Every structure is written in structure tokens, then in C-alpha cells.
Amino acid sequence: MTAGGPAAEPAVRTRGLTKRFRSGQVAVDHIDLVVPRGAVYGFLGPNGSGKTTTIRMLLGLVSPTAGSVELLGSSMPGGGPVVLPRVGALVEGPAFHPYLSARANLERLDAVDATASPQSRPGRIDAALERVGLTAAAAKKYRQYSLGMKQRLGLAAALLRPRDLLLLDEPTNGLDPQGTREVRALVRELADGGATVLVSSHLLSEIEQVCSHVGIMSRGELLAQGTRAEIAETGTTEVRVMTRPDQRAHVARVLTGLGLEDVRVDGEVVAAPLGGTAVEKVAQAVVGDGVDLLGLEVRRPTLEDVFVRLTGEGFDVDR
């Protein structure tokens, strides 16, 4: 709280962070994560790409084989006692005592927090339960909770106190569409309140809309990271030309003549990466060559294109 200026220190920074498990597997491989203050950072990657292991290392649960971690300016795990009270976390799904009620579970978590005030506890617990929509089910035993209710309770635990940083590992796992939407709204609300949020997911579509920044993991490596726009720009902008079926080959020849590469017929359109070519030149050339131009579209790269290109489309877990 002393450090100069919010821009000075990222909320999360790792340098060469690596985890090799005793099995010999390198789950996280020299990643340099930078989550700026105030960002909503989408931490994306297929199953088994190392997201949870990274989050465990950020929190000091797993010790890195190499590299360092800084959370809110303090180095971990040494700074844990000071910095972790300001961090809310959901790691690999919620976990509570099954035979205690939701409220009793939250009470326990708050009671063991040396920095939480016992006086404000009931109020904060009520507020947290309210925020995730569990007020009506607060007295139920955790064992009787449904998957989505458990997930909500995990979020409530992370929100027991005001936080500067939230590390949410797959927060939408098991939630219904309504719940997923609520989580997105919650993330937005937290960010608006000044918190930094890191949200991991293997489903891009679930969090894409709320992210200001994105990091893409695959096989333990951080393949790309930056603002959404920066990441999207690493994709390719395409021009797509619509014409009559009999003229498609003709259009393809024109595009190739303009110097465009990788020209292909994609369903009803002829598409090609635009490269440095201006789109009006394409339009002129096509029309000038006597083609009946039915439509012309410039498609900017989406995050999803980049994600799929970087992580592959395969369904199988890589290792």
C-alpha cells in the first residue's frame, strides 16, 4: 500500500516460473506472467495445460521448481501472511467440510483468518452469501449442495472480505447459463471496484466478454499474453469475397494476381489473408475484371481464432 502508483507494480508477476512434478512432468515451463493492476485477465488453456498448477504456485501451495512469484508487490511464498488476506482465491473447484452447513463453513474460514474482524463476521458472511445468491440455502449442509451451489459457495468464500486480487480457477465450472452470466457480472463488478481479477478457463467463450487481458497456456507454456486487442492482432485479417458460384475460380485468380497468398474457396466465399493489401484495391480489381461482386467482407481476427491456432483444435488432452 506504500509502493508508488498503481502502474508501478503489476498485481501478478512471475519470472521463469517452472514446476516439474516428481513424476518428471513439467507442468509449467518458464512462464513470465504479467497481470496489470485493475485488469481482468483471462487465463486460457486446454485441459492439462498448467493453469491450476500455476495458480497453486502463485498462492504458495506448490513450491516452484524454478522462478519467482510476486503478488501485489510481495514475493511469494514469503509474503503470504501479509499479502494473502488481500487475495481471494478459487483453486480447482470449491472445497468445504461436507457435514457442516454453508454458513458454518464460511464461519470457520473467517475464524481462522488472523486479520478478519470477528465483530463484522456475521454481516460479511450474509453479504457474501447474498452476492452469490445462496442466502436461502445457507443452512443446508454442504453435502446436500448441487455442483453449481458448491461453486457459488466457493466464490462466496473468496468474497468474504474486500479483496485487491482475485484468482478464480474455472469459476463457471458447473454453473447453469444464468449462473455463468452472474459470474461474468460479478467479475465485472469486482473490476469496477478496483480489484484485479485473474480468471482461468478452458472455455474461451465463457470469459472472453469480460477480459481486458488474455494469456494463453498450452502444454505448460505461456504462448501469448497481452491486452485482448494485442492478442487478436496476432491473428490474420481476412478478406472474403462473395460472388456467383461459376465465378469463384475467377475471383481466386484475381486475388492471387494481386499478390495475396493462401487464397481458398471457403463454402460460398473466396477468402484470403489480406496481408498488407488495401481492401479497396481488392474491390477494384475484382469489379474491374468483370466479376459480379455480391459482397465483400474484411474479417478481423477473433480471440478464438488465435486461441485455436495456438492451442490446436484437437480434443485429446495433450499429455
Partner 1 sequence: MSIVDTPVPVAPAAPARATARLLRSELRLVFGRVRNLVLLAGLAAVPLLIGTVLFVTQSTPVAGQGPPFLDRVTGNGVFLVFAALVSCLPFLLPLCVAIVSGDAIAGEASTGTLRYLLVVPVPRTRLLLAKAVAALAFAGAAVVAIAVVGLAAGAAYFGVGDVVLLSGDTIPLAAGMLRTLGVVGYVIASLTGLVAVGLFLSTLTEVPVAAMASTVVVAIVSGVLDALPQLSAIHPGLLTHHWLDFGEFLRLEVDASTLLAGLAVQGAWVAIFGALAWSRFTTADVSS
Ligand X SMILES: Nc1ncnc2c1ncn2[C@@H]1O[C@H](COP(=O)(O)OP(=O)(O)OP(=O)(O)O)[C@@H](O)[C@H]1O
Angle between helices 248-257 and 279-288 (to 10 degrees): 130
62 binds partner 1 (CB under 8 A): yes
**Considering only residues 5-44, where is the footprint of ligand X by CB under 6 A?**
21, 23, 25, 27
Q: How many residues bind ligand X (CB under 6 A)?
A: 14
Q: How far is the CB of 231 from partner 1 (least distance, A)?
A: 22
Separation of alpha carbons 150 and 88, rounded Å? 16
Buried b (16+ CB within 10 A) or exposed e, 132-162: bbbeebbeeebeebeebbbbbbbbbbbbbbe
* d(C-alpha 211, C-alpha 201), whole Å: 12
Q: Is residue 82 close enough to count as binding partner 1 by CB under 8 A?
A: yes
Q: Which of residues 143-172 bind Mg ion (CB under 5 A)?
A: none
Residue 47: name its binding partner from ligand X, partner 1, Mg ion, none (Cβ under 5 to 8 Å by kind). ligand X
Among ligand X, Mg ion, partner 1, none, residue 256 binds (CB under 5-8 Å by kind): none
Sign for the pseudo-dihedral over CA of 11, 16, 21, 22: negative
Degrees, nearest 5: CA angle 250-255-257 = 95
Which DSSP symbol is given to 169?
A: E
Q: Is the peptide bond before 77 cis (omega within 30 degrees of 0)?
A: yes
Q: How many residues bind Mg ion (CB under 5 A)?
A: 1
96 binds, among ligand X, partner 1, Mg ion, none (CB under 5 to 8 A by kind): partner 1
CB nearer to Mg ion: give 49 or 196: 49
- The stretch near partner 1 (CB under 8 A) out of 3-11, 126-134, 177-185, 254-262 is 3-11
For 21-91, list the strands marked E by DSSP. 26-31, 34-35, 40-44, 66-71, 74-76, 87-90
What's the count of helices (H) and strands (E) in the chain, helices before strands? 11, 15
The angle that helices 102-111 and 121-131 make with each other, rounded to 10 degrees, is 130
> DSSP state, 302?
P
CB of residue 31 to partner 1, shortest distance in Å:
18
Q: How far is the CB of 214 from Mg ion (least distance, A)?
A: 17
Q: What share of the chain is helix, strand, coil (3-state, %, to 5)?
A: 35, 25, 40
Q: Select the residue interacting with ligand X from 13, 14, 39, 45 (CB under 6 A).
A: 45
- Which range binds Mg ion by CB under 5 A, 46-54, 105-113, 132-140, 243-251? 46-54
Based on CB atoms, which residue is closest to ligand X, 221 or 233?
221
**C-beta of 28 vs 106, nearer to Mg ion:** 28
Q: What are phi and psi of 67, to 5 degrees?
A: 95, 175
13 touches partner 1 by CB under 8 A: no
CB of 169 to Mg ion, least distance (A): 6
Residues that bind ligand X (CB under 6 A): 21, 23, 25, 27, 45, 47-53, 202, 319
Residues that bind partner 1 (CB under 8 A): 1, 3, 5-6, 11, 37-38, 53, 56, 59-63, 72, 80-82, 84-87, 89, 91-99, 108-109, 111-115, 117-118, 157, 161-164, 193-196
